[in-house]
Structure 1
Amino acid sequence: MQKPSYFILIIYILFSLEGLSQNLILNIGGENELETLIIDSIGYVKFHKDYKSIRNETKAAQNKFSKLGYIENELFAIKRINDSTFHSTMHLKNKFDSLYIFYDNTKTDTSTLNLVSNDIYNDYFILKLQNIEKALNIINTEISQKGFPFSKVKLSQLEIKKNRTLKAQLITSNNTTKRTISNIKVQGYEKFPKSYLKHYLKIKQNQNFDIDNIKSKTEQLTNLNFANEVKAPEVLFLKDSTTLYLYLEKSKSNNFDGFLGFGTNEETNKLEFDGYLNLKLNNNLNFGESFSLRYKSDENDQKTFEVNTELPYLFNSPIGINLMLRIFKKDTSFTTVNQHVKINYQINSSSKIFAGITTTESNNTLNNNNSLNINDYNTTLYNLAYQYVKQQNNNLLFPISSKIYFETGIGNRITKDNKEKQSQISFELMKIINLNNKNSLYIKTNGNSLISNSYFENELLRFGGINSLRGFEENSLNATFYNLINTEYRYQLNNSIYIHSIIDAGYFENKTQSTKEKLFGYGFGFAILTKSGLLKLNYANGKNENTPFKLANSKLHFSLTANF
């Protein structure tokens, strides 16, 4: 019975000895008390598992103090004090704060030196010793970006003068031929639009070669919905040429979107249906162009037909054009036709600015218009707009991470009897806040305001429904001004399914009826990524501020977005 006890004791002793062997102590002291205080204040690793770790730490400590200006420091041999303690002495000697670096101004531009020093003269500049390594890396990077990818930078002829001043010579080995991009080859998607290379990625022939800059530019392809980068760019250096290889693939970017909604009519207690179709075609001609067609019909006997097209980089220029036609019909009351032409300029991969003109023509189709304020009119507005879109292509369920859109227009409304100034302002802000891999918050706010001295019924802003304020019928709310907030708490069950809450709020004004109201929408929903596309189901109930909650007012919406 005692043998097991002895066995346990032996194991305990062996593990204890192993634990002690992994707790060796290193003490580094100075030549005097002041140097010891400096060494302790800067610090070093004291506890080690073996003697090799102690030796490496003393070398690292000596190198650390050299970078801090104690370039003359001297480290003495490591002495063993007892079984677990080792001691070494370091003589720090004098500290140097600055280094005077002489350079050849025909090889190194002062614009490059301005990035690392504030004290620059005709043939030398001054650096703090602790900044030398970082400064040399910056100088080398700048030289590389100017077309010398094999450049090297080093300090030579280090001297200590009588006044304790450090001096050195900057040596740059960029005597090789300057490298510019002589050819660009796209592999995998050979028909990738060349205008996007020049104006979107801003990579073109005869440009100074800098691989780091090129890699950062090709990462911007994540903001394109019709192309992906398969792997990092590569380069082939020949004696008289530099060929850049980009590895891309074409993505499915066409999509078909539709939904079916139904609810109970409060007056007839009958089930009513509404829905819409939305077709988007992107880059089918390998030009980067886009075309969309939208048709909507709702239970209020309202019909909307809209066509949009965008042609980017016309004639290989940085300018693109947007064209839109929208026809809206309200039962037998009126018909409104909107058209706009906008030119756009791509600032970077995420941002665009627009300028253009919007025209509106509305016609009264009622035989008797005594009770409604519906009139024939024509409006012309001159517009300016800004758009920012950030993609997150690693998430198929939520491809857009954030969005900003702001537009303003000013012009005139002309009727048979008079001419009146009008302006319009609209905006949209959207952001997804990723809490972790499964939980996220979706926040969106948008608004629209029509500013005029008088208003017609057939020019009011219309909103409500699955894409604006959920729980209300499509385009059932009319306003001269509105502001909406949509929020969702999303929980991602896996890569293809998520559930979410619905909490919407809105405020609107209708000056034709002198009304101001607050609106709310509550509900829940889920989405499933199927082989056919993204299927969504939303259940929401909408109410006014002063009206009670009614289950009969709930709306159930289905939508399907299919990519092809």
Structure 2
Amino acid sequence: MKKTSFLLLIIYILFSSVLFCQNLHFKIDGNTKHETNIIDSLSYTKTHANYNSIKHELDSIQKRLFKIGYIENKLKEIIKINDSSFETKIHLKKKFNTIHIYYDKTKIKRSLLESISKNIFDDYFELEFSKIENTLNFINSKISNEGLPFSKLRLSNIKVKDTSNLSANLIIESEIRKRVISDIVIKGYEKFPRSYLKHYLKIKPSQVFNLSKIKSKTSQLNNLKFANEIKPPEVLFSKDSTTLYLYLEKAKSNSFDGFLGFGTNEETNQLEFDGFLNLNLTNNLNFGESFKLLYKSDENDQKTFQADLTLPYLFKSPIGLDFGLRIFKKDSSFTTVNQALKLHYQINSKHKIYAGLLSTESNNLLTENTSLTISDYKTQYYTLAYEFTKAQAYNLLFPLNSKLYLETNFGERKALNTQEKQTHLAIDAFKIFYLNRKNSVFLRLNGASLNSNTYFENELLRFGGINSIRGFEENSLFSSLFGLINTEYRYQLNNSIYVHSIIDAAYFENDILNTKEKLFGYGFGFGILTQAGLFRFNYANGKSENQKFKLSNSKIHISLIANF
């Protein structure tokens, strides 16, 4: 007997939740079959845990019917069929498709109404009844963005106008005066250069307060190398002021870039090395300034020294200044010195324009001038340029998604008591096309041309190497015109490792030698993001159009970009 009682107790404990938590079935009918079909189309829940859930579902159904135009729907009594079944009826009555909303011209612009309604009159506009809620939210957001963040909208005096239309008055409650930004407080990076707020982000005191635009603008801070936004902006409203708080942090913006290249000399069959040092210092004075230093020495006994200084937003103006100095020496043949002075204007975070002067002086170092194509000369150019950049700060391997730089130079060259007009054009553009999260294609177009009646060897354009067409020695190719395409198919294994192919093609002309040639480069490479920086390895083989493939023409390039 005791065993039987104990067994019954266990069964009771295990199955009591099932016995006492029986689901309730609920059904809603309309006054007609058509009304029932409309109610069923709302896909309401028909199985409930308790009676309160049924009542909550009914309330939800009536609100949904109201929103689609059945504002006179009437609920009848809920009938209990048995212990687990309930049903009720809802008489939908007439559906109203359109509402005529009367508005105050002084509080809402007609241009705003034109974006939400096709039928607008002097004192009212027509709107589909089902769109009322979304439309009112849209209007309210637009009014809030015009400096009235505490505005409220509602419809009053709703009544039947005719058999299918309603009418109502649009009531807008808002402050009398528009709110403007009275102060901007920066938290975290208090020394952030304020000129970037005014000219880069286009945010400044006395500006009409628009929170959605402010959030959109501050997100562009992540495109700067030296600052990050650590959380969205916040606003403190008081009776007479509106204070905007920005939360920023200073980022590592200095970089060191160097590479070591080696290959076999075809004449001596000996291994030769080349490399360069590239140092970028950014915002160390909390001014947004940048200083770039490049020193390159390659296997062709060529040396390059380059220094560039950029000073943005001089005297808190939208104008910045760029200085450039470049010295190139070709063994014991010649030296060329380029000096550039440009003013730039930052249109917005992506677009920038330049205007300035470029001066060049080249000297023949040969004691016995056996080459008639090398000569002393001086040039003076006027420069116009445009730059577009689109960042993707979330990607540490590829922080730039696309870039376009166009430059035009026009002026004259003086040499041997003669003057000659010249133009120099250059383009450098690239873009990453994403196939999916791990696969992408990188395309780069780079080219330049020097237009002149006569040419000297020491003024020709130089290209070739890891930052040009890969598989060739650094600056080993001289031309009066060249164009090249770099392509890479990239596969990203994870957030810090990727592998890629190398397929490059170039075309160049040398008007001194009267030659036209096509070049190709093939290979592969990989990149690894380490604690020290981005380590890159490239293996490429270069050949001309009529040249056979030779393994000895291969080049290996190793580089490391370290941020500090």
Moved more, 437-446 or 72-81: 72-81
User: Could you tell me whether the CA contact under 8 Å between 2:522 and 2:541 is conserved in 1?
Assistant: yes
User: Structure 1 residues 46, 190: closer, same or farther in 2, change over 3 A?
Assistant: closer
Moved more, 110-119 or 543-552: 110-119
- Letter of the aligned partner of 2:42 in structure 1? Y
Q: For residue 257 of structure 2, what is the aligned residue in structure 1? A: 257
User: Structure 1 residues 491, 485: closer, same or farther in 2, change over 3 A?
Assistant: same
Q: Distance in 2 between matches of 1:455 and 1:38?
A: 83
User: Could you tell me whether the CA contact under 8 Å between 1:45 and 1:57 is conserved in 2?
Assistant: no
CA drift of 1:100 comes to 1.9
Give the match's secondary structure for 2:393: coil
User: Structure 1 residues 153, 308: closer, same or farther in 2, change over 3 A?
Assistant: same
User: Structure 1 residues 79, 467: closer, same or farther in 2, change over 3 A?
Assistant: farther
What does the per-residue CA deviation read over 1:109-163, in whole Å, with 9 as the maximum and x for residues that have no partner? 3344344334444432332333322321222112212222221111111121246
Q: Distance in 2 between matches of 1:46 and 1:170?
A: 32
Aligned match for 2:42, one of 44, 47, 68: 44
User: Could you tell me whether the CA contact under 8 Å between 2:44 and 2:61 is conserved in 1?
Assistant: no
Q: For residue 410 of structure 2, what is the aligned residue in structure 1? A: 410
Q: For residue 280 of structure 1, what is the aligned residue in structure 2? A: 280
What does the per-residue CA deviation read over 1:386-414, in whole Å, with 9 as the maximum and x for residues that have no partner? 21222222222222122222222333333
- Letter of the aligned partner of 1:101 in structure 2? I
What does the per-residue CA deviation read over 1:433-468, in whole Å, with 9 as the maximum and x for residues that have no partner? 344444433222222222333332222211110111
Q: For residue 4 of structure 1, what is the aligned residue in structure 2? A: none
User: Could you tell me whether the CA contact under 8 Å between 1:230 and 1:248 is conserved in 2?
Assistant: yes
What does the per-residue CA deviation read over 1:252-309, in whole Å, with 9 as the maximum and x for residues that have no partner? 1011111111111101112211111111110111110111111111111111111111
Moved more, 21-30 or 432-441: 21-30
CA drift of 1:246 comes to 1.1
- Letter of the aligned partner of 2:499 in structure 1? I
Runs of 5+ consecutive residues of structure 2 not aligned to the other structure? 1-14
User: Structure 1 residues 425, 70: closer, same or farther in 2, change over 3 A?
Assistant: farther
Q: For residue 188 of structure 2, what is the aligned residue in structure 1? A: 188
User: Could you tell me whether the CA contact under 8 Å between 1:485 and 1:506 is conserved in 2?
Assistant: yes
Give the match's secondary structure for 2:455: coil
Q: For residue 545 of structure 1, what is the aligned residue in structure 2? A: 545
Q: For residue 400 of structure 2, what is the aligned residue in structure 1? A: 400
Q: For residue 509 of structure 1, what is the aligned residue in structure 2? A: 509
What does the per-residue CA deviation read over 1:205-242, in whole Å, with 9 as the maximum and x for residues that have no partner? 12222322222111111110001111121222223222
Give me the identity figure in percent. Answer: 60
Q: For residue 140 of structure 1, what is the aligned residue in structure 2? A: 140
Q: For residue 390 of structure 1, what is the aligned residue in structure 2? A: 390
What does the per-residue CA deviation read over 1:489-520, in whole Å, with 9 as the maximum and x for residues that have no partner? 33334433333222222222223223222222
RMSD over equivalenced CA pairs, Å: 3.1
Give the match's secondary structure for 2:440: strand
- Letter of the aligned partner of 1:132 in structure 2? I
What does the per-residue CA deviation read over 1:353-388, in whole Å, with 9 as the maximum and x for residues that have no partner? 222222222232333445442233333332322212
Moved more, 75-84 or 456-465: 75-84
User: Structure 1 residues 226, 22: closer, same or farther in 2, change over 3 A?
Assistant: farther
Q: Distance in 2 between matches of 1:84 and 1:453?
A: 98
Q: Distance in 2 between matches of 1:325 and 1:112?
A: 53
Q: For residue 234 of structure 1, what is the aligned residue in structure 2? A: 234
Q: For residue 11 of structure 2, what is the aligned residue in structure 1? A: none
- Letter of the aligned partner of 2:43 in structure 1? V
- Letter of the aligned partner of 1:225 in structure 2? K
CA drift of 1:195 comes to 0.5
Q: Distance in 2 between matches of 1:239 and 1:303?
A: 65
Give the match's secondary structure for 1:447: strand
Q: Distance in 1 between matches of 2:475 and 2:25?
A: 76
Q: Superposed, which structure 2 residues align to 1:126-275 within 5 Å? A: 126-162=126-162, 164-175=164-175, 178-275=178-275
TM-score (norm 1): 0.87
Q: For residue 31 of structure 1, what is the aligned residue in structure 2? A: 32
Q: Distance in 1 between matches of 2:322 and 2:27?
A: 71
Q: For residue 482 of structure 2, what is the aligned residue in structure 1? A: 482
- Letter of the aligned partner of 2:451 in structure 1? I
Q: Is 1:329 the counterpart of 2:329 in the alignment? A: yes
User: Could you tell me whether the CA contact under 8 Å between 1:372 and 1:457 is conserved in 2?
Assistant: no
User: Could you tell me whether the CA contact under 8 Å between 1:23 and 1:47 is conserved in 2?
Assistant: no
- Letter of the aligned partner of 1:44 in structure 2? L
Q: For residue 3 of structure 1, what is the aligned residue in structure 2? A: none
- Letter of the aligned partner of 1:475 in structure 2? N
What does the per-residue CA deviation read over 1:290-329, in whole Å, with 9 as the maximum and x for residues that have no partner? 1111111111111111111111111111111212111112
User: Structure 1 residues 82, 524: closer, same or farther in 2, change over 3 A?
Assistant: farther
Moved more, 66-75 or 463-472: 66-75
Moved more, 159-168 or 272-281: 159-168
User: Structure 1 residues 84, 424: closer, same or farther in 2, change over 3 A?
Assistant: farther
User: Structure 1 residues 57, 354: closer, same or farther in 2, change over 3 A?
Assistant: farther
